[in-house]
Structure formats: C-alpha cells, structure tokens
Amino acid sequence: MAYTTIDKSTDYFNTVLYTGNGGSNAITGVNFQPDFIWCKARSIGYDHRSFNSISGTGKYDDPGNDGVQSSDANSITAFGSDGFTLGSEAGGNVNSQTFVSWNWRAGTSFSNDASATSIGTIDSSGSVSDDSGFSIVSYTGTGSAGTIKHGLSTAPNLFIIKRKDTGNDWRVGSSALTNFVKHVNLNTSAAESDLAAAFNSTAPTSSVFSVGTSVSTNASSGTFIAYCFAEKQGFSKMGSYEGSGDANGPLIYTGMSTAFVLLKEIDNSNNWMIFDNKRSPFNLRDDFISSDIADSETTGNANNRMDMLSNGFKIRGAGSATNRSGSTYIYMSFAESPFVSSGGTPTTAR
C-alpha cells in the first residue's frame, strides 16, 4: 500500500495571500475551486470571514464571533475554478490591506434522506471529498438527540458546528477531547468544558456524527453547518500534545511536511493559534493569527513559534498559548507535501 494517496496537497488545501481593493477582487492561485474559505485581515484588526459553497454567494460567517450568518451581496460573489471573487464588503476586502485565505476543497455533492436510507436520523446534504477527508454538512435540527450523515467513509477526527439562524458559539468536537462530552469553542479562548448535550457524548462513526439536545448543535428548526475533518496519511493530522514549558518544545510527528497548524490549549483559557507556510515561509515560524479575536497578525513572536518540518512541527517557544508545562493542546494540521510520496520518495522541509 502506498504511503499516501495525495502527492499534491495543494489539490485539496492551500493558503493564499492577497491585498484588498475595496471593490470587485478576484483571488486566484488557489489551484482548485474552494468549498470552504476562511479569510483574515493581516495588517489591521478586523473580524474573520468564512464562506462555503453550500451556503453560497452573498453569505458569510465570522469564526471569531458567535453571531448569526450574515447576508451581504457584496461579500463573496463567486466561487471560481482557481479561487473566488470578493465584493466591497470590508471584512474580506479592505482597500490596500493585506489578507490571508485558507482554502479547502470538497467538491462532490451529496444528500441524505435519513428515513429512506436508514443512515442517521436527521436529514443532511452537503459537499464531500473522501480522498482528502473533508466534508461540509448542512442540516436542520430536530431538538431531539440524533445522528447525521457526514458523507465520509471514515470517522471524522475533528468537526466544527455553527448554527446559522441565530447566535451561538462555534462548537468544536475532537477525538483528542474527552469522550465527546467536552468541547471547545472556535470563537472563544475558554478552556475545554463539559457539554454532553452538544455531541450526545458519542464519537462519530464512519457514516454519522451525533448531536444531542443543545441549541448550539441541534435546536428544533435551527439551521446548521458542520465542517468535518478525517485524517488522511500524508495530508492531514489531528491530535494532541503536551507542553514542556521550555523553548526546546515538543516535536509533533504528523507524517507530512507541514503547511498549516491550528492549535488550542484546552486546560486553560488561551487564544487559538494559526500558523501557515505562506505568511511565515521559513523556520522559525513566528507569525500567527488567533481565530477568537479580531486583532491583526502577530509577527516575530519569540514566545509562541514553531518549526515546520518534513515530518511534522516542533514548538520553539515557551509561551503558554503553545507550550505551557503539563498543559494539553489539540491541533489540526495540513500538508505542504507528504513525508514520503506515493512513489516512495522522501520530501524535505524548507
């Protein structure tokens, strides 16, 4: 069996940098038609923006805020074959300011009538790439504990659910958290906490994920979007590590040359941290963005930084947001390239 089935990671995930122009702005160089786009202003403090192909054009969410999904015809105006086009809405396109966009491809539509297929108990639809282990799922809540088809052939290791029709936190479930009883919120710095009603204290299976009675994941008649991520060898890895509290921090083996890391301390209140290989193209990587705040990009930080390696990433600072002694951190990472290609050739870090 080949080490990986994805030799070109940028067919499924890519980070693109761009400059806002305050008007119609075609962002290209993504290398595919993105289905989930997450944008953030780097040079100024401004709210995050996320777009997805299931909600469609003219709709956006803010991963740093618990608000309702917004409608604005001047936000995203097109999903293109090599990127996307933004309108004049300021969150993703302030004139002359620098931005980053993180882009994921799903691409294959699905729908599920639960009563007809006997897969899950709540109807769902969405877009999926089983090759890369990513799906976007749309569903309407019932108010009663249930299960929802995610479209993948393997169980998601991490998923994020956001209610669209009213304000609620972005609930994050992860196999690295305790039995899906605990959760963290993408839009807050809070430590992990108990909320059994979010995911019904049940791990996802190869066909469905579970929701309980929480209004944040399954309110009766509430509308929801879920982003589901399953590990794929050589392309993506989700897990946890323990901090050492010193600048020679832990090495996290992922089996791939790292392009993107999202991480969060779960034992204490601390900001989410996002590192990528485009804003910091060489080691040490000391530029980060936090998902839970609207601040501009932090650059040259000596306390919270990392090396991105050919087989994972290594923490190189003693800051509490990435490396408090004895604390646990969850992470989600995506590849620049696999550690070993499908043809057996090793890759190298920059």
Residue in the structure block whose two tokens are 């007809």: 116
CB 98 within 8 A of CB 92: no
Token output for 179: 């039995």
Beta bridge mates, 37: 51, 103
pLDDT for residue 343: 53
pLDDT at 14 over 90: yes
Is it the case that residue 342 has pLDDT exceeding 70?
Answer: no
Task: Return the bridge partners of 135, or none.
Answer: 128, 228
pTM: 0.95
- Quick one: pLDDT at residue 254? 95
Burial category of 71 from C-beta neighbours within 10 Å (exposed 0-12, middle 13-18, buried 19 and up): exposed
Q: Average pLDDT in the 320-334 region?
A: 97
Q: How confident is the model over 198-214, as pLDDT tens digits? A: 999 999 999 999 999 99
Which residues are registered as beta bridge partners of 223?
A: 140
Question: Radius of gyration (Cα) for the chain, nearest Å?
Answer: 19
CA–CA gap between residue 8 and residue 47 (Å, rounded) = 31
Q: What is the mean pLDDT of residues 305-332?
A: 96
pLDDT: is 240 or 178 the higher one?
A: 240
Delimit the domains of the chain by residue range.
Answer: 9-104, 108-229, 236-338
The pair phi, psi for residue 309, each rounded to 5°, is: -110, 175
CB 131 within 8 A of CB 12: yes
CATH of 108-229, one of 2.60.40, 3.30.70, 2.40.128, 1.10.260: 2.60.40
Count, residues in the chain: 350
Question: Could you report the per-residue pLDDT of 61-111, keeping only the tens digit for each?
Answer: 999 999 999 999 999 999 999 999 999 999 999 999 999 999 999 999 999
Mean pLDDT on 281-292: 93
Q: What is the pLDDT of residue 1?
A: 44
The conformation of residue 192, written as its DSSP 8-state character, comes to: P
Q: Residue with structure tokens 């791990």?
A: 203
Rounded Cα distance, 92 and 62, in Å: 11
3-state secondary structure of 332: strand
Can you tell me the distance from the alpha carbon of 343 to that of 119, in angstroms, rounded to the nearest whole number?
A: 37
Q: Which residues have CB under 8 Å from 182's CB, separation 6+?
A: 192, 193, 194, 195, 266
| Cβ count near 173 (within 10 Å) | 28
Q: Is residue 259 a contact partner of residue 265, using CB atoms and an 8 Å limit?
A: no
Q: How many helices and strands (H and E) does the chain possess?
A: 4, 26
Structure tokens at 204: 């996802």
The pLDDT value given to residue 129:
97
pLDDT at 182 over 90: no
State mean pLDDT over 32-58. 97
Q: Which of 110, 206, 223 is nearest to 161 (CA)?
A: 223
What rounded mean pLDDT belongs to the chain? 93
Q: What is the reported pLDDT for 210?
A: 96
In the chain, what percentage of residues exceed pLDDT 70?
Answer: 95
